[in-house]
């Protein structure tokens, strides 16, 4: 008996897509292929707080890429809250977005499928698929910058919560009646384990005239307001004891918080990114030590590795582009079904016209 004829499998369509990462100070965009390889990039300063100016910048960047590449969709990572439909930026602390229908505004102008998500979600997706978290089913990503953001990625899907606002790890309270946070609460994790916390502690020591802060004071001519996180990190690399100690303090707070995250989510891997992670082992060694001491069930469970992010500042737009690729495939399938239905309707109408 002859074997049944098998229908040949259709090759997977892997289009090029544009990813755009919008921050408070810069807009970084790139063309990305299905393997996460960046083919082209462009960076511009964020044009103030003007909604229209930011949208114009996005459109110009997409149109510029289209002159060289056949792109099929656009993904946008925005610094702010994005609704569960991934279309509206409900609030952004750094830009004037308030219930802004960003997806519709951009799609109407570029005539391509568009998806919008939180920038930390986009970066986490990139790290889980192409970066430090590759090979793990459940990846917890934490970004340390001005504050603390992050996301939980399960089987290459970002967990967004009921309203699209999951991942605001920095606002978990770790100290009752602790430092005031810009969110309005006290004792938030990001007040103890972020770039802001690092700089705040150093500036206070300079202002107090601490002899331990003489190196940092020299760097800024005695003006603590001029001190930045990268300066502290470089001073630590150069052997400044206070800078090493400050990064160690941040690392310990980070480790304690991550132990709480591990108790809640049991991740297979923890990826630490953001500007503060540039300190490398000066941050991560004390983080791992504190994590191991604070982890529930320590000694009787597998500890997830805590690793530095691998994709650097490109993670945001790489992840956004990957989200856009899924949107492009959905759009193509929808167009294909619509065309098939149209053909069926035409055929039925023709048959009806042939009847006496």
In a domain, residue 302? The reply is yes
Question: What is the structure's pLDDT at 7?
Answer: 42
User: For residues 156 and 133, what is the distance between their CA atoms, to the nearest angstrom?
Assistant: 10
> Are residues 167 and 194 located together in one domain of the fold?
yes
> Are residues 158 and 219 located together in one domain of the fold?
yes
Looking at residues 161-169, what average pLDDT do you find? 85
Crossing angle of the two packed helices 102-110 and 51-66, in degrees rounded to 10: 40
Q: What are phi and psi of 261, to 5 degrees?
A: -60, -40
The residue to which tokens 């970004």 are assigned: 143
> Are residues 221 and 326 located together in one domain of the fold?
no
> Are residues 186 and 242 located together in one domain of the fold?
yes
> Are residues 291 and 327 located together in one domain of the fold?
no
Question: Domain with 36 in it: what CATH number?
Answer: 3.30.420.40
In a domain, residue 327? The reply is yes
Under the banding of pLDDT at 50, 70 and 90, the label for residue 1 is very low
> Are residues 20 and 153 located together in one domain of the fold?
no
Number of domains in the chain: 2
In a domain, residue 352? The reply is no
Digit-coded pLDDT (tens) for 260-312 = 999 999 999 999 998 899 999 999 999 999 999 999 999 899 999 999 999 99
Question: What is the structure's pLDDT at 129?
Answer: 95
Q: Please, what's the largest Cα pairwise distance for the chain?
A: 102
User: For residues 265 and 331, what is the distance between their CA atoms, to the nearest angstrom?
Assistant: 33
Digit-coded pLDDT (tens) for 35-73 = 999 999 999 998 877 889 999 999 999 999 999 999 999
User: For residues 320 and 77, what is the distance between their CA atoms, to the nearest angstrom?
Assistant: 6
Digit-coded pLDDT (tens) for 103-148 = 999 999 999 999 999 889 999 999 999 999 999 999 999 999 888 9
> Are residues 255 and 166 located together in one domain of the fold?
yes
Question: What is the structure's pLDDT at 3?
Answer: 47
Question: What is the structure's pLDDT at 24?
Answer: 76
In a domain, residue 217? The reply is yes
Q: Is the predicted pLDDT of residue 226 greater than 90, yes or no?
A: yes
User: For residues 29 and 22, what is the distance between their CA atoms, to the nearest angstrom?
Assistant: 9
Report the candidate in 295, 307, 233 with the shortest Cα–Cα distance to residue 258.
Answer: 295
> Are residues 278 and 151 located together in one domain of the fold?
yes
> Are residues 35 and 168 located together in one domain of the fold?
no
Taking the CA atoms of the chain, what radius of gyration do you get in angstroms? 24
Looking at residues 156-183, what average pLDDT do you find? 89
Looking at residues 165-174, what average pLDDT do you find? 88
> Are residues 205 and 233 located together in one domain of the fold?
yes
In a domain, residue 289? The reply is yes
> Are residues 321 and 234 located together in one domain of the fold?
no
Q: What are phi and psi of 115, to 5 degrees?
A: -130, 145
Which residues fall within 8 angstroms of residue 129, CB to CB, at 6 or more apart?
A: 36, 156, 319, 322
Burial of 239 (0-12, 13-18, 19+ CB in 10 A): exposed
> Are residues 280 and 226 located together in one domain of the fold?
yes
Question: What is the structure's pLDDT at 260?
Answer: 95
Report the candidate in 277, 253, 325 with the shortest Cα–Cα distance to residue 14.
Answer: 325
Question: What is the structure's pLDDT at 353?
Answer: 62
Q: Is the predicted pLDDT of residue 10 greater than 80, yes or no?
A: no
Domain of residue 80, residue span: 16-124+313-340
Question: What is the structure's pLDDT at 344?
Answer: 56
The most confident of 82-96, 171-185, 198-212, by mean pLDDT: 198-212
In a domain, residue 285? The reply is yes
Digit-coded pLDDT (tens) for 234-261 = 999 999 999 999 999 999 999 999 999 9
């Amino acid at each position: 008996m002859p074997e049944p004829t098998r229908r040949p499998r259709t090759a997977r369509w892997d289009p090029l897509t544009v990813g755009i990462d919008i921050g408070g100070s810069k807009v970084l965009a790139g063309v990305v292929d299905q393997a996460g390889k960046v083919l082209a990039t462009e960076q511009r300063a964020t044009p103030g707080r003007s909604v229209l100016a930011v949208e114009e910048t996005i459109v110009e960047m997409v149109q510029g890429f289209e002159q060289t590449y056949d792109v099929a969709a656009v993904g946008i990572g925005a610094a702010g809250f994005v609704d569960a439909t991934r279309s509206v930026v409900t609030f952004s602390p750094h830009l004037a977005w308030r219930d802004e229908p960003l997806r519709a505004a951009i799609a109407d102008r570029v005539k391509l499928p568009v998806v919008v998500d939180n920038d930390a979600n986009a970066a986490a997706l990139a790290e889980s698929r192409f970066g430090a978290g590759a090979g793990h089913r459940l990846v917890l990503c934490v970004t340390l910058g001005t504050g603390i953001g992050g996301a939980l990625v399960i089987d290459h899907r970002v967990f967004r919560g009921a309203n699209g606002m999951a991942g605001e790890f920095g606002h978990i309270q770790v100290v009752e009646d602790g430092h005031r946070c810009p969110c309005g609460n006290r004792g938030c994790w990001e007040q103890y384990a972020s770039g802001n916390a690092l700089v705040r502690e150093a500036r206070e020591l300079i202002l107090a005239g601490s002899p331990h802060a003489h190196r940092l004071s020299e760097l800024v001519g005695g003006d603590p307001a001029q001190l930045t996180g990268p300066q502290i990190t470089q001073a630590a690399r150069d052997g400044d004891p206070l800078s090493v100690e400050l990064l160690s303090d941040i690392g310990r707070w980070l480790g304690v918080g991550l132990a709480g995250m591990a108790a809640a989510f049991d991740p297979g891997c923890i990826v630490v990114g953001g500007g503060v992670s540039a300190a490398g082992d000066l941050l991560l060694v004390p983080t791992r030590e504190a994590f191991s001491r604070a982890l529930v069930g320590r000694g009787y469970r597998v500890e997830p590795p805590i690793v530095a992010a691998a994709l650097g500042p490109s993670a945001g737009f790489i992840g956004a582009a990957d989200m856009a690729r899924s949107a492009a495939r959905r759009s193509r399938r929808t167009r294909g079904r619509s065309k098939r239905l149209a053909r069926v309707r035409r055929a039925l109408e023709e048959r009806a016209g042939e009847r006496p």
